[in-house]
Amino acid sequence: MRQSKLFTKTKKENPADEASKNAELLIRGGFIHKEMAGVYTYLPLGLRTLKKIEKIIREEMNAIGGQEVSMTALQDPEIWKKTGRWDDDVVDVWFKTKLKNDTELGLGCTHEEPITNMMTNFISSYRDLPMFAYQFQTKFRNELRAKAGILRGREFLMKDMYSFCKDEKEHDEFYEKSKVAYMNVYKRVGLGHITYIVFASGGMFSKYSHEFQTITSVGEDLIYLDENKGIAVNKEVLNDDVLTSLGLKRENLVEHKAIEVGNIFTYGKRYSEPLNLNFMNETGESNPVFMGAYGIGVSRLMGTVVEALSDDKGIIWPEEIAPFKVHLLALGDSEKVTAQANMIYEQLNEAGVEVLFDDRLENSAGEKFADADLLGMPYRAVVSERSITAGGIELKKRTEEKGKIVSLEELLKIVSEKN
């Protein structure tokens, strides 16, 4: 992609109406555009990263047997009334609307009700179980506070998976697999070293649910971590009984602010019973399906990466989710530099390397360097009179202070490697 053709532009100044680092950097870099509080458009650069995160999650969900679907955002109140969750006093984030004939509809904030209802068409016997279905879907939530950029949207992208099992034992097996798949996702987006599985309030069937929390200074949640044991507890369930049951001591716990980047729940019959999702077991007896749910905030995860992995100059995208792997900069407008940079751009494209080419003629070297730091691609490759005289291209990782001169062959070799 040629930067001269990219319709988005970087900005030097932080937006005046944003308080969070993720929104500041993503807006300045032209990754997202703010429509209104909690509502953002994903621009070409930002969408590439969002799609890459989605791809990672899809691979990990498929690996544990997930089948992808895509459900509608429009919600039929009759289904939600059966579980008691249509009422605004019960679910306080509903956006509701009406058909022309005054029939009420909701905009989905989550999808337990419609998916359970739908599965009555497909599940009838123990032979149909276990089954796992997931989707990437836009959720709508009328959040009271939407001041944290894409960490808390009123419209946001979620991956939600639902499991349908015969009994608790079958459910537990999948639940444990999902924990591993989730941690794989966080590792692959570059947050594995600061993301923990945390005991949180369970509510319906189980004593606990599990949250995945990424430690950052801006998180809304407080978690208590025993670093030696690798066990963490959300503040909301922190009490003596819980500590005893988990074998933890208060004095070994360190408090951290963290962002909830996912959570998994055991529901049991909470939704299957009121919505009549039953199956016939081996002996011909009818039972409610044993359910669980597994959520990841895809857009929140992108915001969390920015919060956790940036410096004072800009974003530092991990390789697997960077919009482009290489940011190629042509400095100056001499014919020699232009010809050389164009040739390298073509070679990289031919080698299948994703490259953003700063071919803009009107920008200074300083502006181009500043943009490269702000946009945060893993590699910066500079072509200038000086680099050509020195024998090639100056290659620098975003995480390094200083670059080195490499030949075109070396460049191709280094950036083609999967790290």
Measured from the CB of residue 263, what is the shortest distance to ligand ATP in angstroms? Answer: 4
Strand bridging mode 131-140 / 67-68: parallel
Residues 291-330 that bind ligand ATP (CB under 6 A): 295-297, 299-300
Cα(335)–Cα(415) distance, integer angstroms: 26
Residues 90-149 that bind ligand ATP (CB under 6 A): 110, 141, 143
Measured in whole angstroms, how far is the alpha carbon of residue 35 from the centre of its chain?
20
Cα(335)–Cα(331) distance, integer angstroms: 11
> Which residue lies nearer to ligand ATP by CB, 200 or 330?
200
* DSSP string for 242-276: HHHHHT--GGG-EEEEEEEEEEEEEEETTTTTTTT
Q: Which stretch binds ligand ATP (CB under 6 A): 27-35, 99-107, 152-160, 371-379?
A: 152-160
| Torsion sign over Cα 7, 326, 354, 44 | negative
Asked if residues 34 and 40 have their Cβ atoms less than 8 Å apart, the reply is: yes
Q: Does 262 bind ligand ATP (CB under 6 A)?
A: yes
Distances in Å between the alpha carbon of 166 and those of 64, 113, 131, 276?
17, 19, 10, 14
Binding mask 155-194 for ligand ATP (x = CB under 6 A): -x-x------------------------------------
Judged by CB under 6 A, the residue of 66, 108, 114, 153 near ligand ATP is 153
Q: Which stretch binds ligand ATP (CB under 6 A): 28-36, 234-242, 261-269, 396-404?
A: 261-269
Q: Which stretch binds ligand ATP (CB under 6 A): 223-231, 232-240, 289-297, 317-325?
A: 289-297
> Which residue lies nearer to ligand ATP by CB, 20 or 299?
299
Asked if residues 322 and 73 have their Cβ atoms less than 8 Å apart, the reply is: no
> Which residue lies nearer to ligand ATP by CB, 260 or 358?
260
Q: Does 76 bind ligand ATP (CB under 6 A)?
A: no
Structure tokens at 137: 């879907």
> Which residue lies nearer to ligand ATP by CB, 218 or 331?
218
Cα(383)–Cα(330) distance, integer angstroms: 5
Cα(151)–Cα(19) distance, integer angstroms: 12
User: Which residue type, as a one-letter code, is found at position 393?
Assistant: I
> Which residue lies nearer to ligand ATP by CB, 44 or 203?
203
Measured from the CB of residue 392, what is the shortest distance to ligand ATP in angstroms? Answer: 44
Give the number of other CB atoms < 10 A from CB of residue 345. Answer: 22
Q: Does 260 bind ligand ATP (CB under 6 A)?
A: yes
Residue numbers at the binding site for ligand ATP (CB under 6 A) = 110, 141, 143, 152-153, 156, 158, 260-263, 295-297, 299-300
